[in-house]
A and B are shown apart, each in its own frame.
Chain A
Amino acid sequence: MRRAVAILSLIIVAVGISLSLAKIPFGTPKTKVGRHYIDEGIEDTGSANIVTSVVVSYRGFDTLGEVTVLFIASIGLGAVLTTSVKEKTRKTQPASLVLYTGCKLLFPLILVFGSYIFIHGHLTPGGGFQGGAIIASGFLLVYLGCRERRISRVASNLAESLGGLLFVVIGLLGLVFSGFFLLNFLPKGTANTLFSAGIIPIIYIAIGFKVGSELASIIDNLIEES
């Protein structure tokens, strides 16, 4: 019964989707706003990566909302998991020498690579979200390789709070200096150089710290629980 209802509703959904999508051809330009961003993006924001200029500059307020969603999910996970009674920790076998040495060797390299990704977010593919995810994967490697190591809760909370605070403070500075929240008030410089695009690299560094520490604390909470 339940399966039949599910299949019937899926068929209705599929027919509706295919009827509406038949009018939308694949591979043709569809929006004028995307074209506008590509044509005017460099003059408007000074960022060579148009996706970054959309994420941080044109839709910066939206990104602030998304970072807040991530923050709330991370807080919710911590709240759900830490209210439970702590059982005594399971005995874990120590990792092998190869894994231990490999993770000690790779961890700083992964941190440097993640920082490179979010510092160069306005020049190359990448940005704060991707760099943060790479940094969190480095912490996951440490948790798998060196079982006893834990990141300090204080440092992770500090990085998270400072990242979020920096984002909001830069937005408010735009409000103070030029009358609009998150307006690019710094000089834009020449495109394709590291010190260009005004506030975009600073905001992306803040997002990188925030996302990296939040995902690392999610991993930390889930590993503590298992």
Chain B
Amino acid sequence: MMSFLVDYIYYIGAFGLILAGLYIILVKHNLIKVIIGLGILDTGVNLFLISVGYITKGTAPIFSRAGINSEHMVDPVPQALVLTAIVIGVAVLALALSLAIRLYKHYGTLNLRKIREQRW
């Protein structure tokens, strides 16, 4: 059990964040809280991608000196993906917030239950 925890703690943390974000998105009625859940989900996905690329005792994949030992360098591909995904996540979050502002101006409420077109 302990070795399982030690081996998979980053996966558990990442998917804990993803599931928490999904739960917030599904259950909460306040639109701002839903957007916060979207942000948490985003963070969880980024953390999962980074932890997939990790190698035990890993170092950053940067040759800061010539002839540096490259054996323990972590996988650069997930890092490159997450690098852009973080900035995209910020922009998408800002877009969602601006839509929430417009929705509030139109309906006068952020409660999704009270906005008739949004009810399920």
The chain A residues found within 8 Å of chain B, CB to CB, are 2-3, 5-7, 9-10, 13-14, 17-18, 21, 24-31, 33-34, 37-39, 41-42, 48-51, 53-55, 59, 63, 66, 69-70, 73-74, 76-77, 80-81, 84, 123-125, 127, 129-130, 132-133, 191-192, 211, 214-215, 218, 221-222, 225
B interface, over-half SS: helix
Q: Could you give, for residues 56-94 of chain B, a 1 whenever the CB lies within 8 Å of some chain A CB and a 0 otherwise? A: 101011111110001001011101100110111011101
* Residue on B nearest A132 in the bound complex, by CB: B87
> Could you name 21 residue pairs across A and B whose Cβ atoms are closer than 8 Å?
A6-B27, A9-B26, A21-B15, A29-B75, A30-B75, A34-B75, A42-B63, A48-B63, A49-B63, A54-B79, A54-B80, A55-B84, A73-B91, A77-B91, A77-B95, A80-B98, A80-B99, A81-B101, A129-B83, A214-B91, A222-B94
Partner of A192, one of B60, B66, B87: B66
Q: Does B107 contact A (CB under 8 A)?
A: no
In whole angstroms, what is the CA distance A51 to B73 when docked?
A: 11
In whole angstroms, what is the CA distance A186 to B62 when docked?
A: 22
Chain B interface residue count, Cβ-Cβ cutoff 8 angstroms: 47
Partner of B63, one of A14, A77, A191: A191
Quick check: B80 and A14 within 8 Å, CB to CB?
no
Query: How many whole Å from A59's CB to the nearest CB in chain B?
Result: 7
Nearest 7 pairs of A and B residues by beta carbon: A34-B75, A73-B91, A6-B26, A27-B56, A50-B61, A54-B80, A66-B84
In whole angstroms, what is the CA distance A219 to B58 when docked?
A: 36
In whole angstroms, what is the CA distance A74 to B90 when docked?
A: 10
Q: Which B residues lie within 8 Å of A48 (CB)?
A: 62-64
Q: Which B residues lie within 8 Å of A51 (CB)?
A: 60-62, 76, 79-80, 83
Quick check: A70 and B91 within 8 Å, CB to CB?
yes
Q: Which A residues lie within 8 Å of B54 (CB)?
A: 26-27
Quick check: A80 and B77 within 8 Å, CB to CB?
no
Quick check: B70 and A124 within 8 Å, CB to CB?
no
Quick check: A129 and B86 within 8 Å, CB to CB?
yes
* Residue from B52, B58, B80, B83 with most neighbouring chain A CB atoms (10 Å): B80
Partner of B56, one of A10, A28, A33, A70: A28
Q: Which B residues lie within 8 Å of A30 (CB)?
A: 52-53, 75
Partner of B15, one of A14, A29, A191: A14
* Residue on A nearest B24 in the bound complex, by CB: A6
In whole angstroms, what is the CA distance A38 to B69 when docked?
A: 11
Query: How many whole Å from B10's CB to the nearest CB in chain A?
Result: 6
Q: Which A residues lie within 8 Å of B80 (CB)?
A: 51, 54-55, 59
